[in-house]
Amino acid sequence: MLRLRMPAAAVALAGALALVAGSAGAATAEPAPVAPKVDPVAWTPCNPDPSKPDPGIYDCAVYPVPLDYAHPNGEKIGIAMMRRRAADPAKRIGSLFLNPGGPGGSGYLWATTTRFEKRVTDSFDLVGFDPRGVARSNPLRCFTTAEDADAVFNRMTGVPVTAAEIDGTLAATRDYTTACGRNAGPLIEHMSTMNVVRDLDRMRQAVGDRQLTFAGFSYGTLIGATYANMYPGKVRAVIVDGNVDPQLRLHNGVEYDRQRAGGFELALDEYLRRCAAVGAPRCAFGAGDTRAKFDAIRDHLRTSPVTLPNGSVVTLSTFTGEVANALYAQTRQAPLARSLQALQQVISPAPAFGLAAEPQVPVAEAEALAVPAPHALREAPADTPYTSDDSYYGVNCQDKPYPSNPKVFANLARAWEIEAPTFGRYQAFDAPACATWPAPAREVERYAGPWNRHTANPLMVIGNLYDPATQYRFAQNMQRELDSAVLVTVDVIEHCAVGRSKALNALVTSYLVDQAVPAPGQVLKPDLDPFPAV
């Protein structure tokens, strides 16, 4: 079953850009007024993993915030929060709020993260939370049953190529947004990042912190940048890692997605180059011309899905999605090479590209790129509850301006795949839902700048040279757009970097605990090699 994807999931046509321009001139929102005095969080001890003994260091709460900030005393919704108490109360500085991105990523269990050094966990309560509409926090749901959702999602193709695939995907997407308008309730009107930031400032006050200490990853960097410009005097220490470009994202969703596709393409190019540089067997796909081999697999899948011995099927959609997913983390990149090599063996059993013999890997490795083989038919209870949430589009369609004609995205796909042959079409079909989304943003709830308000303290911007989902140029732009920020660079193919480099984590610790701003211009290395020596 295909679900409308979260981002692993992207030259726009002039006509499409003209359509976007009409919606991109969002009025600049003024900084939100200081929130009124709020009630403290009512923490209750909890165990993050009930299957294991309670470590006795965690508390949970559901904190009420206004559904609509235009009516702060009206209906409330609950924000689910978890904290890991500071390990050394004598050294406690305050709370470190965490957001893992998405939008729609659940941050609740991020209170348990091991990304930070001991001096950080000694000095801060780590506070994870599910933003409004996400997971445990009044989840935004477009369906009431799993069967209703499957009836829509199963008609979608992740990377549609043929006219039938494109038409079917766009029709199902319209049915999806119709369901959202029918079932999601009033929350769908109030899902913008601006409202998430208003919630965050209330939580900051509710835990007793005078200023915010925050680490945001991926989309969470937009939360950090928006907070810094809505509440510049409340910034103590804000880390943004795996950065979006706020100005571009909030003013031109189409161009932002086109550049995002380019970021995936840059990361893939570097991945194939590094694979070839170390060669086989360190990189199982490293013999011969890795770029030509990869392109041959992709082009074969455009017209001919591959059925594996276990009955599972590799399609262009599953292949593209799994390659994108593997680029997110170094730990997935050696397995990706084995999967690519195994799939090539199925498609081209004879040695290819001038090689007398290529390394052989088990064909089962290719199953990671496939749709699982269907199980035998079995009865299932009717009206299975729908347990996912639809916050990804709930936020994106309120933040990012898009054309209102869904057919534009098919034209974009043809243009983008010329410059981004693997990910252009994939990214173009990430956004059609926003063309017919039933709750476009009201400008009073959409912060679109300015981004250069003077903050009480500088921000720390972290960018990977080959970040697939948020390319390095976005981190450079984030640093330029903010009033006071320092960029630290990591030479790695991965999405986000905190916890992946001891050198980086030392800088992160000094910044969070001591408020020591890193020296600009540093380029660091990760701790791990994606293709370790055998």
pLDDT digits over 299-327, tens only? 999 999 999 999 999 999 999 999 999 99
Ramachandran bin of 449, using left for φ above 0, alpha for ψ from -120 to 50, beta for the remaining angles: left
pLDDT tens, position by position, 41-85: 999 999 999 999 999 999 999 999 999 999 999 999 999 999 999
- Sorted by sequence, the CB contacts under 8 Å of residue 274 that are 6+ apart come out as 283, 493, 530, 531
Give the pLDDT mean for 237-266.
Answer: 98
Report whether pLDDT(12) > 90. no
Tell me whether residue 476 is exposed, middle or buried, using C-beta atoms within 10 angstroms of its C-beta: 0 to 12, 13 to 18, 19 or more: middle
156/28: higher pLDDT: 156
**Contact indicator for 63, 202 with CB cutoff of 8 Å:** yes
Query: What per-residue confidence (pLDDT) applies to 359?
Result: 73
DSSP string, 477-500: HHHHHSSSEEEEEE-SSSS--TTS
In angstroms, the CA 498 to CA 512 distance is 13
- Sorted by sequence, the CB contacts under 8 Å of residue 221 that are 6+ apart come out as 101, 240, 241, 242, 243, 244, 470, 478
**Contact indicator for 305, 320 with CB cutoff of 8 Å:** no
Confidence of residue 375 (pLDDT cuts 50, 70, 90): very low
Query: What per-residue confidence (pLDDT) applies to 353?
Result: 53
Query: What per-residue confidence (pLDDT) applies to 17?
Result: 28
Query: What per-residue confidence (pLDDT) applies to 481?
Result: 98
Residue with tokens 């994108």: 324
Query: What per-residue confidence (pLDDT) applies to 377?
Result: 35
Q: Which amino acid is at 355?
A: L
> What's the whole-model pTM score?
0.91
Crossing angle of helices 163-183 and 146-153, in 10° steps, is 150
Query: What per-residue confidence (pLDDT) applies to 27?
Result: 38
Query: What per-residue confidence (pLDDT) applies to 33?
Result: 53
Report whether pLDDT(218) > 70. yes
Report whether pLDDT(210) > 60. yes
Confidence of residue 37 (pLDDT cuts 50, 70, 90): confident
First to last CA, the chain: 37
Report whether pLDDT(258) > 90. yes
Angle 58-236-78 from CA coordinates, rounded to 5°:
45
* Listed residue (262, 248, 252, 293) closest to 417, CA to CA: 262
Report whether pLDDT(24) > 60. no
Q: Percent of the chain, pLDDT > 90?
A: 86
In angstroms, the CA 449 to CA 426 distance is 29
Confidence of residue 372 (pLDDT cuts 50, 70, 90): low
pLDDT tens, position by position, 234-246: 999 999 999 999 9
In angstroms, the CA 140 to CA 108 distance is 16
Give the pLDDT mean for 228-236.
Answer: 98
Query: What per-residue confidence (pLDDT) applies to 297?
Result: 98
- Sorted by sequence, the CB contacts under 8 Å of residue 197 that are 6+ apart come out as 32, 223, 226, 227, 230, 231, 447
Q: Which two tokens stand for residue 202?
A: 């209330």
Q: What is the mean pLDDT of the chain?
A: 91
pLDDT tens, position by position, 156-192: 999 999 999 999 999 999 999 999 999 999 999 999 9
Report whether pLDDT(15) > 80. no
pLDDT tens, position by position, 88-125: 999 999 999 999 999 999 999 999 999 999 999 999 99
Query: What per-residue confidence (pLDDT) applies to 360?
Result: 85
Q: Which two tokens stand for residue 467?
A: 């970040």
